[in-house]
């Protein structure tokens, strides 16, 4: 399944972002918010943002969003470290 987000032109203009940066910035904001609200695990949020986990972690830090680190994240990190 895939989800398409339609953004009205007025909203796109109001964001005042250069066209090449628009998609990446919107995806980062969405991923950050979903992670912050504990609706998406860290690794999946980084994937949604199109970033490495290291870079996504830095982006969260820049936004003042603390890392959640529970058993799901431990398992995800172990799987990632094991190349799975």
Model confidence over 46-61: pLDDT tens digits? 999 999 999 999 999 9
Q: Is 74 helix (H, G, I), strand (E, B) or coil?
A: helix
- Give φ, ψ of 80 to 5 degrees: -65, -45
With residues binned 3-state (H G I as helix, E B as strand, rest as coil), the percentages for the chain, rounded to 5, are 65, 0, 35
* Residue 12, SS3 per DSSP: helix
23-36 per-position pLDDT tens digit: 999 999 999 999 99
Confidence of residue 16 (pLDDT cuts 50, 70, 90): confident
Q: How far apart are the first and last CA of the chain?
A: 22
Residue 84 pLDDT greater than 90, yes or no: no
In this predicted structure, what is the pLDDT of residue 51?
A: 97
Q: Could you tell me which residue, 83 or 78, shows the higher pLDDT?
A: 78
pLDDT at 1 over 90: no
């Amino acid at each position: 399944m895939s989800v398409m987000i339609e953004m009205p032109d007025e909203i796109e203009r109001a964001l005042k972002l250069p066209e090449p940066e628009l998609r990446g910035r919107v995806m980062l904001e969405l991923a950050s918010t979903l992670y912050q609200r504990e609706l998406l695990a860290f690794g999946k949020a980084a994937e949604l943002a199109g970033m490495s986990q290291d870079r996504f972690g830095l982006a969260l830090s820049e936004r003042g969003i603390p890392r959640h680190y529970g058993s799901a994240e431990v398992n995800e990190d172990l799987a990632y470290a094991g190349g799975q």
